Amino acid sequence: MNSRGPLEHPVFDISKIEFTGDFGCQAQQLLQIIRLTKEEVEHIDFLLRDLSANFNRIWPGCVIEPFGSIITGLGIKTSDIDCYVTVPPWERKQPGKLVYVALRSLRSQPHLFTELQPIARAKVPLVKFLHIPTGRHCDASFKSPQGIRNSLLLAYLLHLDPRVLSIAIIIKFWAKLHKLTGTNLMPNYALILLVVFYFQQLNILPSVYELQDKLKPHQQCIVDHWETGFVHIPDYTLKSRKNEFNLYELLTGFFEYYSSYNFAMNIVSVFLGCSIKRELFKSLNTVPTVFRLYDANLHNGLVQPLRINESMCIQDPFDHSRNCAVAVGKNLFPKIIGCFKHALKCYIEQRSSNFLKAILTVIPKQHPADKQGIKLPTKKVPQKPIPIPKVKPVPKPNINNSRKPGFNFIKKFNELQNHSKQRKGKRKNTGKFSTILQ
């Protein structure tokens, strides 16, 4: 039976992983061990059926819609099930009360549901429970279907290139091992947005703006005052294949990129696919005009300003007023950066065949809170130079703010062209991806 202490699950016993063969073989072995099997996914359907039958007794016609890792493909052995309960319109005004109604209904079937925990006063009211037949925990929420829309977007992006999903699952597992994600820690959703953003810099994934730029009326989907509709780009998978980095290069590049990323100055914007200076969101007068829906919703008092004064600012791709990393406080932030730098240190010191084992089994002794962080050795292991493919900039919105002339959000895409030649010689302190991701 699954428990609320996920690190106690056997899947987190790294000693059972052999780490034989090259990095690619080890990565596939790890994915096979930690991912949900087809049978386990099918069992989740039993949970949803039982929950639907229970809730339909009190809300006839209600619909149970799963979202989160089960939909995105990021599910691992310890994943909880998230679902949104669509109740009749006249019941939706007070989602906090719905939690207690649902609680009483679940209690009527103790042979199916146990470990019931109502959370009615949270921003997203929900009821937690354990489904006895499957041994799986579930969070049922009632406030908004926005989680469904976010999951559909991530599912599309993560499956555009098979390497993206594999890297995302490995990073999710790595972060859980190092206790970076979880309750009162960094949300998995925020972490996966960092993964998506990283692949946007390599032009492997499109920006959300590209997916929404030419929405037709029947494709629009407004949820909680935000546009959550998006289109699929049929030929984008062909474009991403021009980038020939393997899993090892992409994973180590992720750690290298965020070890030196300037979180203090920038907003991570998956919507635009590039960084935005935090100072631009200090006032509506300087917010880029491409965020017109943010401007309108803020003017109409429908949302609160984006919280840009947190340690990290990772903007939701749909709800531009939401910082998905507000849970990352002053103590957790240096720990996260320390783990990024420790993984980069493992890349520098270890052979590729030892890298995965090193980042999963060696826990950093300390997570420095100072600006310098972990000091990396100056001597690096010489390896074969890594080819950097030519990356052509994709069409981006004209977000030179007319209220602040001269600000150019897509400057970095022009820089990609200047650094697209193959690097030669030994690795230098700037790292293999630094020339294309600065």
**Residue 416's pLDDT band (boundaries 50, 70, 90)?**
very low
Distance between the two ends of the chain, CA-based, in angstroms? Answer: 46
For residue 318, give both structure tokens: 């749909």
pLDDT score of 234:
80
Average pLDDT over every residue of 271-295: 96
pLDDT score, position 151: 98
At 401, the pLDDT band (50, 70, 90 cuts) reads very low
Q: How confident is the model at residue 7 (pLDDT cuts 50, 70, 90)?
A: low
**CA 180/CA 336 separation, integer angstroms:** 7
Which pTM does this prediction carry? 0.83
pLDDT tens for each residue of 60-72: 999 999 999 999 9
Which carries the bigger pLDDT value, residue 148 or residue 43? 148
Residue 406's pLDDT band, with cuts at 50, 70 and 90, is very low
Other C-beta atoms closer than 10 Å to the C-beta of 406 total 6
Give the type of residue at 319: D
| Whole-number average pLDDT of the chain | 83
Looking at residue 334, what is its pLDDT? 96
Position 235 pLDDT exceeds 90: no
Render the burial of 36-59: b for 16+ CB within 10 Å, e for the rest.
beeeeeebbeebbebbeebbeeeb
More confident residue, 215 or 374: 215
pLDDT tier for residue 240 given thresholds of 50, 70 and 90: low
Whole-number percent of the chain with pLDDT over 90: 68
Give the model confidence (pLDDT) of 243-269 as tens digits.
789 999 999 999 999 999 999 999 999
C-alpha–C-alpha distance, residues 208 and 228, integer Å: 10
State yes or no: pLDDT of 413 exceeds 80: no
HEC profile for the chain?
A: CCCCCHHHCHHHCHHHCCCCCCHHHHHHHHHHHHECCHHHHHHHHHHHHHHHHHHCCCCCCCEEEEECHHHHCCCECCCCEEEEEECCHHHCCCHHHHHHHHHHHHHCCCCCEEEEEEECCCCCCEEEEEECCCCEEEEEECCCCHHHHHHHHHHHHHCCCHHHHHHHHHHHHHHHHCCCECCCCECHHHHHHHHHHHHHHCCCCCCHHHHHCCCCHHHCCEECCEECCCCCCCCHHHHHCCCCCCHHHHHHHHHHHHHCCCCCCEEEECCCCEEEEHHHHCCCCCCCHHHHHHHHHHHCCCCCCCCCCCCCCEECCCCCCCECCCCCCCCHHHHHHHHHHHHHHHHHHCCHHHHHHHHHHCCCCCCCCCCCCCCCCCCCCCCCCCCCCCCCCCCCCCCCCCCCCCCCCCHHHHHHHHCCCCCCCCCCCCCCCHHHHC
Q: In what order do the strands lie in the sheet with 314-315?
A: 274-277, 266-269, 314-315
- Dihedral sign of CA atoms 51, 176, 313, 368 in order: positive
360 in Cβ contact with 339 (< 8 Å)? no
Look up tokens 């998978």; give the residue.
237
pLDDT tens for 301-336 read 999 999 999 999 999 999 999 999 999 999 999 999
Locate 348 and state its tokens. 């520098």
pLDDT attached to residue 88 = 85
Q: Is the pLDDT of residue 430 over 70?
A: no
| pLDDT tens per residue, range 186-206 | 999 999 999 999 999 999 999
Greatest mean pLDDT among 37-41, 181-185, 270-274 lies in 270-274
CB 251 within 8 A of CB 354: no
Cα–Cα distance, 223 to 103 (Å, whole number): 26
Read off the pLDDT band of 237 (50, 70, 90): low
Of 88, 69, 93, give the one whose Cα is nearest residue 80.
69
- Residue 315: strand pairing partners: 269, 323
